[in-house]
Amino acid sequence: MGMTRLIELKRCADEGGTFVSVGGRELAVFRSGDDVTVIDNSCPHAGGNLSGGDMTDGVVECPWHNWRFDLRTGVCEHAANVRVARYTAAVRDGWVFAELPDGRSSPG
């Protein structure tokens, strides 16, 4: 499985989320300096826009009903059996890449 190029790091909000749509998949990229986490943008509760949520200490809070998700694991703080999909991510040459289940390798 290859890494898919998502967005230039400098276009990602620092200490917050950025919405990215690639290959029909809607993702949220959370950046803290040079570290990035990539998750599905849709909240597992009711589809809230997680990229628009506040990020504090590695936790994002959904802007719709305030469920909180640990970005290190994707697990919801309110219900341990609920989690948002999280993808292996990396920064290379100023671009954010993620390993998506149906992704194709992107040069870079």
Q: How far apart are CA 57 and CA 53, in angstroms?
A: 13
The interface region with ligand FES, picked from 4-12, 25-33, 39-47, 85-93 by CB under 6 A, is 39-47
| Given 2, 14, 23, 65, the residue binding ligand FES (CB under 6 A) | 65
Q: How far apart are CA 38 and CA 26, in angstroms?
A: 10
Tokens of 56: 């504090």
Q: Is-contact 102 84, C-beta < 8 A?
A: no
Using CB under 6 A as the binding criterion, the count of chain residues that bind ligand FES stands at: 9
The interface region with ligand FES, picked from 7-15, 45-53, 83-91, 98-106 by CB under 6 A, is 45-53
Q: Which residues pair with 42 in a beta bridge?
A: 49
68 binds ligand FES (CB under 6 A): no
Q: Which residues of this protein are in contact with ligand FES, per CB under 6 A?
A: 43, 45-48, 62, 64-65, 67
